[in-house]
Structure 1
Amino acid sequence: MKLLVISDAPILSHISKKEAYAPYVKEMDLWLRHAGKVSFVCPTRYKRTLLTQPFQNQDFKVLPLRRLEFHNVIAALISLITIPYQTIVLWNAMRKADHIHLRCPGNLALLASMVQVTLPRKRKSVKYAGNFSPTASQPFSYRWQKRILSNTTLSKNIDLLVYGEWPNQSRNVKPFFTATYSEKDRKDFQKEFNEPLQFIFVGTLSVNKNPQSLMELVTELNHKGIRAQAHFYGDGPMMEELKVQSSEFQVEVSNVSSSESREQFQKDKTFYFYGNQPSDVVKRAYQNAHFSFLASQSEGWPKAVAESMWYGCIPISTPVSCVPWMLGVSGQNQIGSRGIIFKYVDQITRLIKELVDEKEKMATISHNAQRWSHEYTLEKFETEIIKLLQS
């Protein structure tokens, strides 16, 4: 079978090996494992730093196309001039393929979503990695490709794979997921919810992720007499600012009874910054944490939430994308069967104070989160990919 993958994610050449963004490579390795001839249509240059790794299977063809960018006048003009050529390249590549796989959203993906309309008999699948919520505020290009791809009159013979379950969708829209861990990694992780409560943040330290909200939460908990600490894994533009801010927070230890334990707690830091760490280090951190925290403004499949749930962390997250579904939260409730919705620091502080007095409830939420996450393994993910390629 001839598989064609069209994506805005660049494939770069390094020491005679093809490589790309590490999480993307891990997923595409599974697709390549079950296809015959594979071709990618994508950019082959990227100006910013990217965490990359080589593909396991290097036997595939790359058809390079320029990134379509519209962030300034010159970039927009160049992109508009190249669109006719890119359209021809896309159409020719699609015509020769047995299965067309689009990776959305993105500008090249938008162009491809329009070109695929002219090939209704071709078998197609689309991985929409962004927020598919009908009420989400998104760029026009994102909304446009969602409409084209979910329109069964325009887009035929196509499976549109999205994160979460959404009401009133067309028949070609199918809930999907992403996996990180294998079935052999399954284990019953029991949490002892003793103080100091351990919070973990994993991801880019950027404005979009709002890591400072976790610092505010942990500081407020300590002020309320609940000992807590926060551990930050990841790097980003806010790293130095957060370190400075952490030294400014004054932590009260009003509920530490003995002078010895009070002195020991004051020696321990409240905020820890580790930068980017290998996956094994992060796994151990998840096992030691009680809560995970993600106050992101936008997500597709919040990987850090799903991974923390695997180890029994109680996730605290903003209600973006499919998060309420992941956490078992219904309606306007802020606490679900598998986690807590974050809106305000004061609100989360109050909920955690209530949970501290109900250790059994915390243990139940932790168990539910773990059981849900354990359903989404790499083996199940690969099985679903095989079904798509063989259908």
Structure 2
Amino acid sequence: MKLVVVSDAPIIKHKDQKKAYAPYVKEMNLWFSKVDEVQIIAPTRYNKPLLTQPFDRQDIQVTSLRRLEFHRISIAVVSLLTIPYQFIVLCFAFAKADHIHLRCPGNLALLSCLVQILFPRKKKTVKYAGNWDPKARQPMAYRWQKRILSNTFLSQNITVLAYGNYVNQSKNIKPFFTASYYEKDKEPIVKRDYTGELNALFVGTLSENKRPLKVVQIVENLRNEGVPVTLDIYGNGPLFESLNDYIKKNKLNPFIHLHGNQPLSSVTQAYKKAHFAFLLSRSEGWPKAVAEPMFWGCIPIATAVSCVPWMLTGDDNQTRGILIKELSNASEIIKEFLNLNNKLDEMSNNAANWSRQYTLDKFDYEIEKLL
């Protein structure tokens, strides 16, 4: 079987190795292990820091296409001029594929969504890694992709893997998940003491979307109100320096620490001990920064975005985390929960039990069925 993957995620060639963003590689290794031949169509240039790792198999055919960008007139003109060439490349690749796998959303992904219409008989899957919530405010390109993929006339013989379970969806849409751990990784949950020193985590890209400064300010407010909480921040991004400056300026160093990018093994050790993990994103797909800490009984404190409300309450109405609907009163909401020790123990256990349903073993099995 020949698998053709189209993604906006860049493939980086370094020292004769093909690499990409580490979580993406970890997932795609599972897909690639089940096919004979792999072709990835993606950009091959990226000039920002990126946590990468090599693919398990290196016999991947990489077809480089320019990143389609429209934030400046000059770049937009060049992108528009390259679209006909990219269209032809995608057509030839799809014609030779046994299975087409699109990684959405993205500008190259949008073009791929249009091209796949010409191949109604080809078996196709789409991993929609963004927010599938029909009510979410999103860029026009994202809305177009969702409409094309949901349309059973335009998108035939296709399964769209979307995060969350929403009503009135077409038969193309399959609620799905992402996993980080195997069954063999499961260990007994450490019982936390919520009456003493508390430890919170932030894990993710330090970008405007993730709002790490808000996390720092919430912890700062809690400290000022007498709550003994520390914060460890794992990740890097464009806000690293400004965040570091804010911490130094406000003398928060004793209880807020920046660790930069760290391997999953180091972050996992932090999850096992921490009481809480923050996610205050404006937009998300399947937030690993919620699912991963839950796996270890670490209670998420998260904004009600994308599938997060379903993750934290679901159809069973169990409480598995602290849902923040208004950031202005986040500190007060957290303090209210801190007065409920028994409730927090129950929440921790509920979080672990729910997250441990979604292992890489199950993920691997579901991929095999899709292929």
With structure 1 as the length reference, what TM-score do the two structures score?
0.90
Q: How does 1:230-245 map to 2 (within 5 A)?
A: 230-245=231-246
The alpha carbon displacement at 1:232 in A equals 1.2
Residue 311 (1) aligns with residue 293 (2): no
Query: Partners of 2:314 and 2:171 in 1: how far apart?
Result: 25
The alpha carbon displacement at 1:90 in A equals 0.7
Contact 1:39–1:60 (CA under 8 A) maintained in structure 2? yes
Contact 1:161–1:175 (CA under 8 A) maintained in structure 2? yes
Query: Partners of 1:32 and 1:250 in 2: how far apart?
Result: 48
Match for residue 73 of structure 1?
Answer: 73
1:243 alignment partner AA:
N
User: Which string of whole-angstrom CA distances, capped at 9 and with x for unpartnered residues, describes residues 284-325 of structure 1?
Assistant: 111121011011111111111111111111101111111101
Match for residue 204 of structure 1?
Answer: 205
Q: Closer, same or farther in 2 for the Cα pair 1:353/1:67, shift >3 Å?
A: closer
User: Which string of whole-angstrom CA distances, capped at 9 and with x for unpartnered residues, describes residues 97-120 of structure 1?
Assistant: 111111111111111111111111
Contact 2:29–2:55 (CA under 8 A) maintained in structure 1? yes
**SS of 2:101 mapped into structure 1:** strand
Match for residue 369 of structure 1?
Answer: 351
Q: Closer, same or farther in 2 for the Cα pair 1:336/1:215, shift >3 Å?
A: farther
**SS of 1:209 mapped into structure 2:** coil
Query: Partners of 1:336 and 1:269 in 2: how far apart?
Result: 36
Match for residue 111 of structure 1?
Answer: 111
Query: Partners of 1:64 and 1:246 in 2: how far apart?
Result: 41
Q: Closer, same or farther in 2 for the Cα pair 1:243/1:66, shift >3 Å?
A: closer
Q: Closer, same or farther in 2 for the Cα pair 1:270/1:344, shift >3 Å?
A: farther
User: Which string of whole-angstrom CA distances, capped at 9 and with x for unpartnered residues, describes residues 204-238 of structure 1?
Assistant: 22222112222222232233332211111122333
The alpha carbon displacement at 1:329 in A equals 6.2
Residue 47 (1) aligns with residue 47 (2): yes
**SS of 1:229 mapped into structure 2:** strand
Contact 1:219–1:249 (CA under 8 A) maintained in structure 2? no
Q: 307, 311, 318: which one pairs with 1:326?
A: 311
Q: Closer, same or farther in 2 for the Cα pair 1:370/1:88, shift >3 Å?
A: same
Query: Partners of 2:145 and 2:259 in 1: how far apart?
Result: 39
The alpha carbon displacement at 1:22 in A equals 1.1
**SS of 1:137 mapped into structure 2:** coil
Contact 1:10–1:46 (CA under 8 A) maintained in structure 2? yes
Query: Partners of 1:128 and 1:247 in 2: how far apart?
Result: 39
Q: How does 1:103-182 map to 2 (within 5 A)?
A: 103-182=103-182
Contact 2:318–2:350 (CA under 8 A) maintained in structure 1? no
Query: Partners of 1:52 and 1:352 in 2: how far apart?
Result: 35
User: 5+ residue gaps in structure 1?
Assistant: 252-267
**SS of 2:124 mapped into structure 1:** strand
Match for residue 220 of structure 2?
Answer: 219
User: 5+ residue gaps in structure 2?
Assistant: none
Contact 1:318–1:342 (CA under 8 A) maintained in structure 2? yes
Query: Partners of 1:201 and 1:92 in 2: how far apart?
Result: 43
Match for residue 264 of structure 1?
Answer: none
**SS of 2:80 mapped into structure 1:** helix
**SS of 1:41 mapped into structure 2:** strand
User: Which string of whole-angstrom CA distances, capped at 9 and with x for unpartnered residues, describes residues 23-57 of structure 1?
Assistant: 11111111110011111111222222222111111
Q: 355, 363, 368: which one pairs with 2:337?
A: 355
Residue 302 (1) aligns with residue 287 (2): yes
**SS of 2:130 mapped into structure 1:** coil
C-alpha RMSD of matched pairs (Å): 1.9
User: Which string of whole-angstrom CA distances, capped at 9 and with x for unpartnered residues, describes residues 153-175 of structure 1?
Assistant: 11100001101111111011001
Query: Partners of 1:223 and 1:307 in 2: how far apart?
Result: 29
Match for residue 261 of structure 1?
Answer: none
**SS of 1:208 mapped into structure 2:** coil
Match for residue 362 of structure 2?
Answer: 380
Query: Partners of 1:357 and 1:150 in 2: how far apart?
Result: 45
1:94 alignment partner AA:
F
Contact 1:4–1:99 (CA under 8 A) maintained in structure 2? yes
Query: Partners of 1:89 and 1:244 in 2: how far apart?
Result: 46
Q: Closer, same or farther in 2 for the Cα pair 1:12/1:216, shift >3 Å?
A: closer
Q: 275, 278, 285: which one pairs with 1:290?
A: 275
